[in-house]
Amino acid sequence: MPRAVITGWGRCVPPVRLTNANLERLCDTDDDWIVERTGIRERRISHVESTDLAELAARRALASAGIEATDLDLIIVATCTPEILCPTTAAMLEERLGADNAAAFDLNAACSGFAYSASVVTGMIQSGFVERVLVVGAEKLRYILDYRDRSTCILFGDGAGGAVFEARDTPDGAGVLSVDLGSDGELGRTMVWGHMGSKGDPSRTVDPEEARLQFEGQAVFKIAVQGIAASATRALERAGLGTDEVDVVIPHQANARIIDAATRRLGIDPERVFQNIEHFGNTAAASIPIALHDALEAGCIAPGDIVVLTAFGGGVTWGSVVMRWGDRVESLGTHHGELPSTEATVFDLLQPNLDFFAPDAD
């Protein structure tokens, strides 16, 4: 039976930074308070749409894998902030890339979206239905944030990350070894974005209270720590592995305190846990593929390593993927394209949010 092996990776992070010092001008917070509670010092704010972020991450991942878009059988975009609902981001990405042979769909499991997508890909590759799949996590989270609400605006950033999965019969045992997925809809009330749906009168105006992200931070913290630790444990057990055999954990970059608490519960040393949340914040479904790219670029993954991807998100959802890394940790090629430049400042980009949510803040 073929296994799903990651053969390409790429990321796209916007150039405009929203620092903690910037946030001090927008809400009741300061750098020490944010760093102590989240580990975040800055995050990126996008001047383009989530589909644009997804496209650049995708092109970089394809170049890394050394394949063409026409080689793809399937494109999955994990996102909870699509540019539009229909056509899907994946369908628009298929057109932009010229992936004429690929099916395409979006998957929304909030911050667990990349783990869910990897699990779907694993099953489809093992069944023989597909051989090459592009998975992209892409988010433009600033669209839903009230930047006067310090419980949410300090956490989230924009970005995209992609990975190419290929079917391989690997004598060295490389590829996805096991997965674990779960959800608890009863706890979904702890993270709610109620605007983008069919609820209510189609002629109604947009209510800022519905359009802003609702977030119960303390409840989310407890649920996330328990969910990540339990999911990763189950996935390792299914793979027949113990935590002492894990080389690298790449968690969803939700909050440094959540990551530390969850991996301590797992019994994983901090040296084996990759974090880049300091620079990018929580990018939801994009965080794991962005972190995977950065871990590879930093030399934190070696051929044959046991790698655990684990996430927790709204819904409530959770998911973990255990894999043995393949023999390649360097990209086969490079895509040199960049996002269009912008002269907008971070405050220019955030002004529409401030104008829209001002009545809610007052």
pLDDT given for residue 40 in this prediction = 97
**Which strands sit side by side in the sheet containing 306-313, from one edge to the other?**
175-183, 317-324, 306-313, 248-251
Greater pLDDT, 205 or 121:
121
The residue segments making up the domain with residue 297 are 3-361
Domains contained in the chain, number: 1
Question: pLDDT tens for residues 221-254?
Answer: 777 888 889 999 999 999 999 999 999 999 999 9
pLDDT tens profile 97-113? 999 999 999 999 999 99
Give per-residue pLDDT as tens, 202-211.
Answer: 655 666 766 6
Q: In this predicted model, what pLDDT tens digit does every residue of 165-208 receive, in sequence order? A: 999 997 789 999 999 999 987 766 666 665 666 556 565 566 67
- Point out the catalytic residue in the list 12, 80, 111, 153: 111
Q: Exactly one of 47, 153, 252, 293 is catalytic; name it.
A: 252
Beta bridge partners of 104: 75
Over the stretch 268-310, which tens digit does the pLDDT of each residue have? 999 999 999 999 999 999 999 999 999 999 999 999 999 999 9
Q: Is position 111 annotated as part of the catalytic site?
A: yes
pLDDT at res. 361:
47
CATH number for the domain including 211? 3.40.47.10
Number of helices and strands (H, E) in the chain?
Answer: 12, 13
Q: Which residues contact 62 (CB under 8 A, 6 or more apart)?
A: 8, 10, 68, 69, 97, 134, 164, 335
* b/e map 20-53, b = 16+ CB within 10 Å: bebbeebbebeeeebeebbbbbbbbbbbbbbbbb
The reported pLDDT for the residue numbered 194 is 59
User: In this predicted structure, what is the pLDDT of residue 228?
Assistant: 87
Query: Is 252 among the residues known to form the active site?
Result: yes
Is 20 labeled as catalytic in the residue annotation? no
Q: What's the rounded Cα separation, in Å, for the pair 246 and 234?
A: 14
pTM assigned to the model = 0.94
| pLDDT for the residue numbered 362 | 45
Active-site pick, 276, 282, 293, 353: 282
Average pLDDT rounded to a whole number, residues 45-52: 97
Average the pLDDT over 214-219 and give the result.
66
16, 349 contact by CB (below 8 A): yes
Looking at residues 151-175, what average pLDDT do you find? 93
Cα distances (angstroms) measured from residue 213 to each of 150, 192, 224, 241, 292: 12, 6, 18, 38, 27
Which pLDDT score is estimated for 214?
62
pLDDT digits (tens, 9 = 90+) for 68-83: 999 999 999 999 999 9
Question: In this predicted structure, what is the pLDDT of residue 262?
Answer: 92
- Of 85-89, 93-97, 312-316, 333-337, least confident by mean pLDDT is 312-316
Host H or E run for residue 12: strand 3-12
